[in-house]
Structures are given as structure tokens and as C-alpha cells.
Chains A and B, each alone.
Chain A
Amino acid sequence: MKKIAASILILGFLASSSGCGFKDLDKRFFVVAMGVDWTGDKEKPYEVTLRLAIPASKIGEGLAESQVEHLAAPSIAEAVRNLKSHVDKELDFGQCRIFLFGKTLIKHSMEEPLNWLSRRRDIQLISYAAVAQPTAMAILKANPATERIAGNAFFLTFGKEGTVSPYTVTEYLFDIFRRFSEKGMDPYFPTIRFDGDSYVVENLVLLNKTKEQLLLNRAETILYNLSANSFSRSGIAINYEGKRLVLYISRVSRDVSITRDRVPTVKLRFKITGIVEQSAVVLLNSKIPEVQGLLEQEMNRTTKKLLIKIRNAGVDPYGFGLHYLAKYFGNEQDWKHWQEVYPQVKFEVSSRVIIESTGLVR
């Protein structure tokens, strides 16, 4: 009798105290993507767009249904709170894996959006972040033709499960937080736009600690991905005997060293192994060293150009500054010195290209 009474008491207590947090899946709206735009308006500068997944019992090509809600407010937090009154279910950010920032916002300042993101407990630090062209709202309102689950196109584009493109530089939220505060390392974002039936990710925006400084074009993006992240599966193209020759890169390894002169020299060394993907000229074994040399030259030339362009923009996405500090176990003085001399820093690129095979034909 005593035991029964005790257990009823405990159950009653539990029942009265809980209910907080108990909310069924179908009573929640999952935010699968979120976008923030800068309106320029004094009163309500932030326009927040949310893409909400509508759970459907049928799943199929192009059947992904989602609802897009947007609202402008003085701050992001207020915008999200006010958006709650626009929907009939609880908003859940737990599954939101992509954050888009409008082109205008990134030109203005990233401080506030990042602050909001880092404070929310339900934001995953492994979410992807990207810059939306022209605006985040436009991207979120677009509907890719092949999407089966709302927002899945984003996850597949940026994640490793789906396409792996040399133009896509995946950027995680935690990495952004790190780069926005780290010494000698600056943030970047991939850009995303919509071409009518699918998303296109091919450019890179480089930032200093607050806003956009430089936009890399397609060729530069692929080169950056190759030289900074050792991303293989891209290619080098040259003109050889008047015809186009393309090398598919299957493996890259890179090595950075920085000299400790008054004005340091950054030495980048690459070892690239690849397969000839396309060549109108028949490549005999005797020609291969020559081709390799040409490829090396091309690689060195373009990379050095890119490095100088990035340096001149005053940003350091490669993290050369941090590497310099790490290499010489620097202290505050070294850091000051580096900041002073970075605009004049010299670059040396040397690469070794090895053609593994010429494909199935010569």
C-alpha cells in the first residue's frame, strides 16, 4: 500500500512538473534554412527570412514543400520572435543547417548576426554559412526542381554526402566564429545564387574581421580551394601546342614555410599528382616532362597572382599570420611586427606536377 501511494505521489509530482518541453514533432516547424539581409532602413535594418519545412507524408521529386516567412526588425532576435506570431507551430532551429547572409549585409557588417548565432543554444555549430546573391530572401524563396526534402539541396550542395565540387568551399559556423576572432587568420564565405532550377556555388568572398573586402572569381576560387585546403578533384588547364590540355588533379599536398626576415617571405610548395583528362595532342612519354613543366609554370604563376591580390586586399584567409606565429612560437611583439609587414610580404610558389597517367589513351 505504502509503495503504491509513494509511486502515485512521484508520478503526480512528475506529471505536474513536466509538460515543459514536451512538444510533438508535428507541432513544430523546422527551420531548415535561415537568411539575413540588410535593408539599409534606419528603423528596421535586418530582414530575416526563414524557410520552414512542411512535413509531408509523401516524399518524391520536387514534392518538398516549404513555407517561407520573412520580416524586418531592428534586430535579428526581435525579427525571429515576431515571426513566431506568423506561424501556427513552434519554430525549431535545431535542424537549421544553413545560414545565408545577404550581399548587402556582408558589405555592411557581420557583427550582429554572428553575435546572435553564437548565443543561441539550438544553433548547430556544424551548420553551413554562405553569402547569398543577390539577397538571402531570393535564394530561400527559390524552389530547386529536384528537391525531395525541404532544404535538402543546400545540405547536399555543401555537405560531403552529395556533390563534391572544387568551387564549393564549405564553411562551417564554428570556423566562421574562429576566423572572425583569430589572430592572423581571416574569414571567407562561399557565395550562392539561383539559376532558375538549381543553386550555383562558385565564388568566394573574403572578409576582414567585419565585412567584405574581396570577391574571388571562378578561377580564383578553384585555385584558392586547391592552394589553401589541398582540395583535389579540380584541374589545371594550359594551352599546349595551340590546343587545350586539362589535368585532373587526384592528389595534392602542400607545405608552407615562412622565413624570419624583416619582411618575411612565404614559401608555398605543392606536389600535385594527376591524370590528363583532355588533350587534343597525342602525349607520348617523351613529351610528358615538358607538359609537366608547363603545368608547373602555370600553377606557380596563377597562384602567386592570387596570393598577391589577396594580400593587397589586406586579408589573410590562408592563415599565414597564425602559421608565422606558430612556427616561431611568437608573442605579442611578433604579432605586431607581422601586422606591420604583411602588406609587403613576399611570396614564392614552387610546385611539382606529376602526370600519373594520360587516361586510357596516349
Chain B
Amino acid sequence: MIRYFYYHVFYVGMINIMMFVPTLLIRDRFHGAVSGMLVAIAISSVMSLVTMACFERFPGLGYPEISDLYLPRWLTKVNILSAALFVWLPSGIIVLYSYAETARMFFYPDMPPLVNLILLAGAAAWASCQSTRTVQFIQEIAMVLITPLIILFLLKAITNENMNWDAIRYVAGYVRIAPSFITIAASTFLFSGYMSLVLFNRMHEEGFKFKFRWVVPLFSSLFLAVTFFVPIGFHGTVGVQEYVYLWSMTADSMALDYGFINRVLYVFLLMFTGISLLYVMNTWHTTIHFIRYTLNGYKSVEETPASRINIWFSVGIGAAAFVYMYFISTEENQRVSEVWIITRFFVEILTVFMMLYFVWRQKKSKSKNKPRAEAQSAAIGKAAE
């Protein structure tokens, strides 16, 4: 059931718009964004392929379980808990905040922000407290429903006659400027879909192999190009920096000539309701399960109905989103996202090295201690049956 993994790659590739990645890239468009993106494509392709290869060696095990095999218990616990609280949890909250504000801006600007948040946080929290298996099903159904919109939107954007290719070419010419760090960090975010393996690898069965693994770098690079160049094509090399809701305004620059709806903006917002909720659901779900693992080593993927502890955690996370929104303004949210993007970049690198270390340990213990390794693989086999 490898296909579920690719859904993660797809929606993370698109959610960057709510993480202010385009804004960061556009800000540096004359100061090393293009070269930064190229560097990021190289780094991330290697990182994603290596991580996928590493996880292939541990079928059915999430990062916490693998970590527990080779590291002392307390270290794993600290690792997992801090990853949950400082990486996974905030990312969901930042995206929820920025989507809630975008939607409020275009759907009902008179509504108080927190009232609007009740709706979105409620839906996301409820989705996130379900079992891992349910979360995967939701993901697939939502992606199936959203994909036509995405295709329509991308076609509309790329084939638009009002898009100015000269502007794109002009900006692309700035590839000669040395890359800036922030654009590298920001661009690697688009590839981060593979990081969902830290939890969702639990769903994989013994002997699974990633088919079509080249899809990950390919699609993410495509999304990266779209996310950076299309706004420039629509708003010009200079005008593009003036927009706060950059991509919403880009979507608003396209018209559907036939149909009930005239503005592509609404297609875009509709699509991003789904994508944002998916992203928030997945990050919060990971948070909940990481916390639960540190509490009692819980690692089941199937649990219906949602257990009470999940519900309480998701309510707590929802409340955290409220607190965050109450104290942080939109501009501050943007700065927080910047900090988060950089933190995530380092955490991701760290994760990749940890995984490499685990694989090395696994290999070593296999060659050194054959009977033990056999017992181990037997255990894995038993686990996956």
C-alpha cells in the first residue's frame, strides 16, 4: 500500500503556500532564490531517497520503535517528545492559522478570527484523533476529490495567456547569484512529504518496496517551480512582492469564462480547504501518536472508535491553536514559520543521519550476531503477518 505514501508527498508539495514559502522565495528572487532552489532540489532528492531506502529496512516500524531498538529509552523519549512538540505540532498550527486567515479574508472578513478557527480547528482536531489507518483512508478520499481541482487549477495557471514568460525568464536569469540559506531551507520544505514515514511506516508490510520512487523529487521540483514562477508570471518581477496573500491573488488573476463560478480564487480556496485540513490532520496525528508513544509505548495503527486519550490530546492541541492565534499576529506568524522552516531543515538532516546510523547498526548486528539477527528478522516477520 505504497500509494498512501505518495499522497503525503503531494499534499506537502502544495501546502508550502500556507507556510509562506512563496513569500520567502519571492523576497529573495534577485538575491539567490533560483540557485537556492536548485541546491535544495539536489539536497532534498538525496535526502528523500536515502530516507525512503532506510525505512524500507524497517517495515512496520515507525521512527520511535526503530530508535528504541538502538538508542537508550530515555534518549528516544526525549527525541520523540521534542520532535512532536517543537516540529510536528507547530507546523500544523502555523498552517491552520494562515489558512484560517486567508479563508476569513476572502469569505467573511467581518467574522472574528477565533470564531472562524473553531470550525477549522474542530474539523482538524476531530480528524487527527482517529486511528492511523482511518487517517490514511481520509487522506486518500480527500486527495481523490481534490485532484480534479488541482489539475484544473494548474492547467488554468500554466496555459494562461496572461502569464508573462519574459518575466519568468528574467527572474530565472538570476541563477548566477549565490544561493541564500533561507531559500534553501524553504525550498526543501516542499520535499518534506517523505518525513511522514516516521509515523506512517507503521502501515507498511514486510518486504515492501517503494515503487516509482523518482516521483518524489520529480513532483516536488515541479511544485517548487510552479510555486515560485507562476506568481511572477502573473504579477511581474516587481509587482509580485507587494501582495500579502500572494497565491490567493495569483489565483484571483485567472478567470473561468464558462461555469457557475467566475473566479478561480474560489476553486483555489476550496482546494486549499482540503489540503490544509489534510496537512493539519496529519501533523497533529503524528504529534498525538508520538506523545502517546513516549507515555506508554502505544503503537497500534487501528483503533475504532477513537480512544479517549486521543480525543483529549486533540482537544488540547486545538486549544493550543487558539492560544497561538490569540497571542500571535499574522506578521508574527510569518516570522514563526520562518523559524520553523529552518528548525525543520536541521531536524530533517538529523533524522536522515539517525536513520543511516540505525541502518548501520542493523547491518552490523546482522553480520556479527547471526542468530540474534535471525531472531530479529523472525520477529519482524511475525510482526508483519
CB within 8 A of A177: which of B111, B239, B262?
Answer: B239
Q: A127 → chain B, closest Cβ, in Å?
A: 10
Q: Does A350 contact B (CB under 8 A)?
A: no
CB within 8 A of B252: which of A14, A124, A161?
Answer: A124
Q: B263 → chain A, closest Cβ, in Å?
A: 6
State A322–B169 Cα separation when bound (angstroms).
9
Contact indicator A174/B249 (Cβ below 8 Å): yes
Contact indicator A178/B164 (Cβ below 8 Å): yes
Contact indicator A17/B112 (Cβ below 8 Å): yes
Contact indicator A180/B239 (Cβ below 8 Å): yes
Mask: chain B, 281-306; 1 = CB below 8 Å from A; 0 = not: 00000000000000000000000000
Chain A residues whose CB sits within 8 angstroms of the CB of B118 once the complex forms: 14
Name the CB-closest residue of A to B162. Answer: A175
Q: Which residues 162-176 of B sit at the A interface, judged by CB distance below 8 A?
A: 162, 164-170, 172-174, 176
CB within 8 A of A178: which of B108, B110, B234?
Answer: B234
Chain A residues whose CB sits within 8 angstroms of the CB of B249 once the complex forms: 125, 174
Which 7 A-B residue pairs are closest in the complex by CB-CB distance?
A329-B173, A21-B108, A326-B169, A182-B236, A178-B236, A174-B253, A326-B166
Q: Does A271 contact B (CB under 8 A)?
A: no
Q: Does A352 contact B (CB under 8 A)?
A: no
Q: Does A183 contact B (CB under 8 A)?
A: yes
Chain A interface residue number, banded: 35 or more
Contact indicator A126/B236 (Cβ below 8 Å): no
Contact indicator B110/A330 (Cβ below 8 Å): no
Name the CB-closest residue of A to B235. Answer: A178
Contact indicator B170/A174 (Cβ below 8 Å): no
Q: Does A45 contact B (CB under 8 A)?
A: no
Q: A92 → chain B, closest Cβ, in Å?
A: 12
Q: Does A185 contact B (CB under 8 A)?
A: yes
Chain B residues whose CB sits within 8 angstroms of the CB of A329 once the complex forms: 169-170, 172-174, 176
Mask: chain A, 318-341; 1 = CB below 8 Å from B; 0 = not: 010011011111110000000000
Name the CB-closest residue of A to B233. Answer: A178
Chain B interface residue number, banded: 35 or more
Q: Which residues 254-288 of A sit at the B interface, judged by CB distance below 8 A?
A: none
State A361–B165 Cα separation when bound (angstroms).
42
Q: Does A18 contact B (CB under 8 A)?
A: yes
State A269–B168 Cα separation when bound (angstroms).
23
Q: Which residues 113-152 of A sit at the B interface, judged by CB distance below 8 A?
A: 118, 121-122, 124-126
Name the CB-closest residue of B to A23. Answer: B110
Q: B256 → chain A, closest Cβ, in Å?
A: 9
Q: Which residues 80-135 of A sit at the B interface, judged by CB distance below 8 A?
A: 118, 121-122, 124-126
Q: Which residues 224-246 of B sit at the A interface, judged by CB distance below 8 A?
A: 234-239, 242
Contact indicator B110/A21 (Cβ below 8 Å): yes
A-B contact pairs, 27 of them (CB 8 A): A20-B115, A21-B110, A125-B252, A126-B253, A126-B254, A126-B255, A160-B257, A174-B162, A174-B249, A177-B242, A178-B236, A179-B236, A180-B239, A181-B239, A182-B239, A185-B164, A185-B236, A322-B167, A322-B170, A325-B170, A325-B173, A326-B170, A326-B173, A327-B169, A329-B169, A330-B173, A331-B173
Q: A21-B108, A179-B236, A183-B238 are in contact. Are A323 and B166 (CB under 8 A)?
A: yes
Q: Does A38 contact B (CB under 8 A)?
A: no
Name the CB-closest residue of B to A328. Answer: B173
Classify the secondary structure of A's interface with B: loop
Q: Does B106 contact A (CB under 8 A)?
A: yes
Q: Does A159 contact B (CB under 8 A)?
A: yes
Contact indicator A17/B237 (Cβ below 8 Å): no
Interface centre among A21, A185, A319, A326, by most B CB within 10 Å? A326
Name the CB-closest residue of B to A125. Answer: B252
Name the CB-closest residue of A to B255. Answer: A126
Q: Does B109 contact A (CB under 8 A)?
A: yes
Contact indicator B167/A182 (Cβ below 8 Å): yes
Chain B residues whose CB sits within 8 angstroms of the CB of A17 once the complex forms: 112, 115
State A331–B237 Cα separation when bound (angstroms).
12
Binding site for B on A (CB under 8 A): 14, 17-18, 20-21, 118, 121-122, 124-126, 159-161, 172, 174-175, 177-183, 185, 319, 322-323, 325-331
Contact indicator B252/A126 (Cβ below 8 Å): yes
A-B pair number, CB within 8 angstroms: 100
State A179–B235 Cα separation when bound (angstroms).
8
Chain B residues whose CB sits within 8 angstroms of the CB of A172 once the complex forms: 162, 253, 255
Q: Does B46 contact A (CB under 8 A)?
A: no
CB within 8 A of B164: which of A18, A125, A319?
Answer: A319
Known: A17-B115, A20-B108. 5 other contacts (CB 8 A): A20-B115, A21-B110, A125-B253, A126-B262, A185-B236
Contact indicator A161/B257 (Cβ below 8 Å): yes
Contact indicator A126/B170 (Cβ below 8 Å): no
Chain A residues whose CB sits within 8 angstroms of the CB of B170 once the complex forms: 183, 322, 325-326, 329-330
Q: A121-B105, A125-B249 are in contact. Are A181 and B173 (CB under 8 A)?
A: no
Name the CB-closest residue of B to A323. Answer: B166
Chain B residues whose CB sits within 8 angstroms of the CB of A177 once the complex forms: 235, 239, 242
State A118–B258 Cα separation when bound (angstroms).
26
Chain A residues whose CB sits within 8 angstroms of the CB of B255 once the complex forms: 126, 172
Q: B370 → chain A, closest Cβ, in Å?
A: 59
State A180–B289 Cα separation when bound (angstroms).
52
Contact indicator A181/B166 (Cβ below 8 Å): no
State A21–B242 Cα separation when bound (angstroms).
28
Q: B27 → chain A, closest Cβ, in Å?
A: 16
Contact indicator B239/A178 (Cβ below 8 Å): yes
Name the CB-closest residue of B to A121. Answer: B105
Name the CB-closest residue of A to B257. Answer: A160
Chain B residues whose CB sits within 8 angstroms of the CB of A118 once the complex forms: 242
Chain A residues whose CB sits within 8 angstroms of the CB of B109 once the complex forms: 21, 121-122
Chain B residues whose CB sits within 8 angstroms of the CB of A121 once the complex forms: 105-106, 109
State A18–B166 Cα separation when bound (angstroms).
47
Contact indicator B242/A181 (Cβ below 8 Å): yes
State A345–B64 Cα separation when bound (angstroms).
67
Contact indicator A18/B236 (Cβ below 8 Å): no
Q: A121-B109, A126-B253 are in contact. Are A182 and B238 (CB under 8 A)?
A: yes
State A172–B239 Cα separation when bound (angstroms).
15
Q: A125-B252, A177-B235 are in contact. Are A20 and B112 (CB under 8 A)?
A: yes
State A175–B255 Cα separation when bound (angstroms).
13
Chain A residues whose CB sits within 8 angstroms of the CB of B254 once the complex forms: 126
Contact indicator B166/A183 (Cβ below 8 Å): no
Mask: chain B, 314-342; 1 = CB below 8 Å from A; 0 = not: 00000000000000000000000000000
Contact indicator A183/B237 (Cβ below 8 Å): yes
State A330–B166 Cα separation when bound (angstroms).
11
State A152–B115 Cα separation when bound (angstroms).
37
State A325–B249 Cα separation when bound (angstroms).
25
